[in-house]
Chains A and B, each alone.
Chain A
Amino acid sequence: MPATRPLPELVCPAGSLPALKAAVDNGADTVYLGLKNDTNARNFAGLNFDDRTAREGIHYAHQHGRKVLLAINTYAQGGDISRWHRAIDEGAALGVDAIILADIGLMKYARDRYPDLRLHMSVQSSATNYEAIKLAQDMFDIRRAVLPRVLTLDQVKQVIDHTNVEIEVFGFGSLCVMVEGRCLLSSYATGESPNSHGVCSPAKFVRWEHGQQALGARLNGILIDEYQQGEPAGYPTLCKGRFEVEGDTYYALEEPTSLNVMSMLPQIIDIGVAAIKVEGRQRSPAYVAQVTRTLREALDAAGRDKQRFAVKPAWTQALSKLAEGQQQTLGAYNRPWK
């Protein structure tokens, strides 16, 4: 193992121009964003970038020596794939530093049209092993792969040891059932899924019901959770709902939690992770600023002295306040069993 590894890039989310500026101002190395349509997996009303804001944001980031990635991470839908092609054309014209793609058809389009455009394989591609990554490298010359959040740290290391494609892992943000790129769960309630429409629970299907006792979350009329008074709420997604199973009501699929890898930063640096990604393009500039600032400090501290690195209580406090479900885990990274 080399004595000094370069610090992983800190990759932060932006759903708006102020969020992008907040990421840059607070120490992100790279910002990722999406366009205002279903070509990205945060296709929320009023969120994301149009041509003007994208241009201004990219200019701002580049002026500060940071990079911008464009997420085109949904799967192009049968009837009309021109929107996805246009998004790639737009990304190339805007001069983004790389495009994040999930769909191999789009990888081919991007590679053929724009041989110099750097391509990243999205977490939505669901590539969990180095053979899958190598195939995408051989066919489309992808330069980086974002790993799904299902691997242990040892497994991440195994992938890194067998590929020269850069590896990006998730570092902070809401967790889900993590069958990225293959999740159809929300389709059962709404007919729309993140891979096809770019959103798990389209807001038009969400209703919050304020009862005397509890806050009810309904997705297309289906009650998916009830929060008692004072109980923290979560995003209204099916995977985080509480359901009655054989007379017992509980989180049958997944509890609302946030991933937080702060305590493992020294190991993440050691195994040669190229980039650490923060989830949350749907969140506000305040979240982006707070998470970016905290992880920047932690990452720099781990880079200065890995042996004596310790998570500061102030960092934990700052991040736990922002976490969905107000609980944080190391997710699959820390799984002692094999």
Chain B
Amino acid sequence: MHIPDLTLPAKLASILGKLPSTPPCWALVTTLNQLKKRDILPVDMSLLAGHSFEVHILDADMRLRFTADDARFSVDSTPSEPDLRLAANLADFARMMLREEDPDTLFFNRKLVIEGDTELGLIVKNLLDSVDWSATPLQRFMAV
């Protein structure tokens, strides 16, 4: 799969931005918990516990906010500043997730914004890098 280089049109973004972010965020959190449960996500929750995260999809103006405790991820509905904020356009997030693009490359090119606790950011980045998708049906979508 090759992600085309596109930015969501502003009109679509303005609609998406008005939609509640809870359903996509719930989907994200559920996926993370499932991956963790099935031992696909090799996460050491003690490194993430007590922290709040925000995935900001810039061109959709959508902010997915979640927290972690010792056991699971959950949707974060508090208004406080997240400990770690990752921001990028949807296509760049997709490239990163499918391993078409290296997050450092996106960062060098200013397409990925990392704000807050840099060490936490590194833990998350290295966690995603260490997922061995070859054990899952998702492998066929991965570039690497």
Interface residues of A (CB under 8 A from B): 15-19, 21-22, 25, 44-47, 53, 202-204, 206-208, 210, 215, 227, 229-234, 282-290, 321-322, 324-326
User: Once the chains are docked, how many angstroms separate the CA of A200 from the CA of B96?
Assistant: 25
**Bound-complex Cα distance A259 to B101 (A):** 20
A286 near B99 with CB under 8 A, answer yes
Asked if B143 and A230 make an inter-chain contact with CB atoms under 8 angstroms apart, the answer reads no
Q: Does B132 contact A (CB under 8 A)?
A: yes
Contact B110 A208 (CB under 8 A): no
Which chain B residue lies CB-closest to A25? B144
Q: Which 10 A-B pairs have the closest CB atoms?
A: A46-B126, A203-B119, A287-B102, A16-B130, A206-B118, A46-B123, A286-B102, A284-B102, A289-B144, A285-B144
- Between A and B, how many residue pairs show CB distances below 8 Å? 101
| Cβ–Cβ < 8 Å partners of B127 in chain A | 46
Pick the contact of B122 from A18, A46, A230, A321 — CB < 8 Å? A46
B114 at interface by CB-CB < 8 Å: yes
The reply to whether B129 and A326 contact each other, CB–CB distance below 8 Å, is: no
Closest to A321 in B: B105
Chain B contact residue count (CB 8 A cutoff): 32
Q: What separation, in Å, do the CA atoms of A202 and B118 have in the docked complex? A: 9
CA distance A134 to B118 in the complex (A): 43
Asked if B141 lies at the interface with its beta carbon under 8 angstroms from chain A, I say no
Q: How far is the CB of B7 from chain A (nearest CB, A)?
A: 15
In the bound complex, CA of A288 to CA of B121 (Å): 20
11 residue pairs of the A-B complex, CB under 8 angstroms, read A16-B130, A17-B132, A210-B113, A210-B115, A229-B110, A232-B108, A284-B129, A286-B99, A286-B100, A286-B144, A326-B108
Residues of A within 8 A of B26 (CB): none
Residues on B with beta carbons closer than 8 Å to the beta carbon of A284: 99, 102-104, 125, 129
Measured CB to CB, the nearest residue on chain B to A201 is B118
Q: B54 to nearest A CB, angstroms? A: 13
**Do B123 and A45 touch across chains, with their CB atoms under 8 A apart?**
yes
Give which listed residue, A15, A204, A208, A321, contacts B114 with CB less than 8 A. Answer: A208
Query: Contacts A21-B134, A286-B143, A321-B105 known; A44 to B113 CB distance under 8 Å?
Result: no
- Residues of A near B101 (CB, < 8 A) are 286
**Contacting residues, chain B, for A288 (C-beta < 8 A):** 144
> Which of B99, B105, B115, B122 sits near A285, CB closer than 8 Å?
B99
**B residues near A45, Cβ cutoff 8 Å:** 47, 119, 122-123, 126
Closest to A174 in B: B104
Asked if B131 is at the interface (CB within 8 A of a chain A CB), the reply is: yes
In the bound complex, CA of A283 to CA of B126 (Å): 9
Tell me the complex Cα distance, A53–B130, Å: 10
How far is it, in angstroms, between the C-alpha of A233 and the C-alpha of B113 when the chains are bound?
Answer: 11
B1 to chain A, nearest CB (A): 13
Set of chain A residues within 8 Å of B132, measured between Cβ atoms? 17-18, 21
Determine which of B100, B109, B122, B134 lies in contact with A44 in the assembled complex, contact meaning CB atoms within 8 Å: B122
CA of A203 to CA of B123 in the docked complex: distance in angstroms?
A: 10
Contact yes or no, A322 B105, CB < 8 A: yes
Nearest-neighbour CB distance to chain A for B141, whole angstroms, equals 14
Contact partner, A204, options B100, B104, B109, B118, Cβ 8 Å: B118
Nearest-neighbor residue (CB-CB) of B44 within chain A: A46
Contact B99 A16 (CB under 8 A): no
CB of B118 within 8 A of CB of A234, answer no
B41-71 at interface with A (beta carbon < 8 Å): 47
Point out the residue from B104, B113, B118, B130 that lies within 8 Å of A18, measured CB to CB. B130
Minimum C-beta distance from B5 to chain A (A): 12
